[in-house]
């Protein structure tokens, strides 16, 4: 057992636990904390994969901004304990089992699929060098310039939408 393995397994265990907690917790805040946990551990995994920049962005944007927003809203609305109503029989009897099935299915497939194995010893799999941020930025601002602009417009629209909705809310 080398360091990367230990890191990987601990972090993945934390992530899965966090996800589980997210599901079973009744207190929205707890769910939020669990999700933050998942995100942080994912960030560590990104580091393990050599994507430092992504890791940083993951924490800054997701954990640092989005989730703060969530927590903020939870506090604002003072969201109490979630009541487990079951108006939707379909969701109760079909949905959850199917979701479980989906989980197992995809997981199993990923595990033993040829894709997984080929990737396991794929070209980049064994190289531990971290991804250089300049290359990433080149890619982002040259090859993907148009999508980038598009997303910026998307964000602008999102801001406006949020403003309008909030105003109406008041």
Partner 1 sequence: MFILTHLWIILALPLLGAALNGLLGRNWPKTAVNSVGVGSVALSFLCVLELIREFLQIDASHLWFQRYFNWISVGHFTVDFALSVDQLTIVMLLVVTFVSLLVHIYSIGYMAHEGGYYRFFSYLNLFVFFMLTLVLAANLVLMFVGWEGVGLCSYLLIGFWFLKKTATDAGKKAFITTRIGDFGFTIGILLAFWTFNSVDFGTIFSQVASRQVESVTSIGTLTAICLLLFAGAVGKSAQLPLYVWLPDAMEGPTPVSALIHAATMVTAGVYMVARMHPLFSRAPLAMFVVALVGAVTAFYSATIGLLQTDIKKVLAYSTVSQLGYMFLGCGVGAYAAGIFHLMTHAFFKGLLFLAAGSVIHAMSGEQDMRKMGGLRRKIPVTYWTMFAATLAIAGIPGFAGYFSKDEILEAASKGPQANFWLWLLGLVGAGLTSFYMFRLVFLTFFGKPRYDEKKVHVHESPRNMTVPLMILAIGSVAGGWFAAPHLVGGTDYFESWLHPVFASYQVPAQVTQQELPAGEGEENGGVQSSQGMELLRALTGPPVIAAVLGLLFAWWFYIRKPDAAKRAMQKMRGLYTLIHNKYYVDEIYNALFIQPLLWISTNVLWHTMDEKMIDGTVNGIAHISRETGGQVRELQSGNARSYATWVVIGAVGFTVLLIGLWMVR
Partner 2 sequence: MNVVPISYYLVLSAVLFGMGAIGFIFKRNIITIYMAIELMLNAVNLAFVSFARAHNQLDGLVFVFFVIVVAAAEAAVGLAIVITIANNRRSLNVEDVNLLKF
Partner 3 sequence: MEFITQHAVLVVSLVKIVVLLFVLMTSLAYLTWFERKVVAHIQSRWGPYYVGAHGLLQPLADGIKFLFKEDVTPPTADRLVYLLAPFLALSLAMTTLALIPFGPLTGPHATVFGQPILVIANSNVGLLFLFAITSIGVYGVALAGWSSNSKYPLLGGLRSSAQMISYEVSLTLSIVGVLLLAGSFSFNGIIESQKGGVIHWHVWPQILGFLCYITAAIAETNRVPFDLPEAETELVAGFHTEYSSFKFAMFFMAEYANMITVSCLATILFFGGWQSPFPESWTWQLYLPGAGLVLLGLYCAYDTAMHMRGLARVQLAVVTTLALIAGLICLSHSALPIVQGPFWFLTKVILFLFVYVWIRGTLPRFRYDQLMSFGWKLLLPVSLANLVGTALVILLVKRG
Contacts of 81 (CB under 8 A, 6+ apart): 26, 27
How distant is the alpha carbon of residue 2 from its chain centre? 26
> Out of 29, 98, 125, 158, which residue is the one contacting partner 1 (CB under 8 A)?
98
Contacts with partner 2 in 13-32 (CB under 8 A)? 15-16, 19-20, 22-23, 28, 31-32
Q: Does 90 bind partner 1 (CB under 8 A)?
A: yes
Q: Does 120 bind partner 2 (CB under 8 A)?
A: yes
CB of 101 to partner 1, least distance (A): 6
CB of 133 to partner 1, least distance (A): 35
Give the whole-angstrom CA distance, residue 16 versus residue 55: 18
Closest by CA to 42, choosing from 67, 72, 20, 63, is 63
Contacts of 69 (CB under 8 A, 6+ apart): none
**Cβ(25)–Cβ(52) under 8 Å?**
no
Q: Which residues of the chain form contacts with partner 1 (CB under 8 A)? A: 87-88, 90-91, 94-95, 98-99, 101-102, 105-106, 109, 113
Q: Which residues of the chain form contacts with partner 3 (CB under 8 A)? A: 27, 29-30, 33, 36, 40, 43, 52-53, 55-57, 59-60, 63-65, 68-69, 71-72, 74-76, 78, 133
């Amino acid at each position: 057992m080398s360091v990367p393995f230990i890191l990987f397994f601990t972090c993945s265990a934390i992530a899965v636990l966090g996800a589980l907690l997210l599901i079973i917790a009744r207190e929205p805040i707890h769910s939020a904390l669990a999700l933050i946990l998942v995100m942080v551990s994912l960030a560590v995994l990104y580091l393990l994969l050599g994507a430092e920049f992504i890791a940083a962005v993951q924490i800054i944007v997701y954990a640092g901004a989005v989730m703060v927003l969530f927590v903020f809203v939870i506090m604002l609305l003072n969201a109490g304990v979630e009541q487990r109503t079951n108006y939707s029989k379909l969701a109760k009897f079909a949905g959850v089992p199917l979701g479980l099935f989906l989980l197992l299915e995809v997981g199993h497939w990923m595990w033993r699929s040829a894709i997984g194995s080929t990737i396991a010893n794929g070209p980049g799999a064994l190289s531990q060098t971290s991804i250089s941020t300049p290359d990433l930025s080149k890619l982002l601002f040259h090859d993907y310039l148009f999508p980038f602009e598009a997303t910026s417009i998307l964000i602008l629209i999102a801001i406006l939408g949020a403003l309008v909705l909030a105003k109406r809310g008041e």
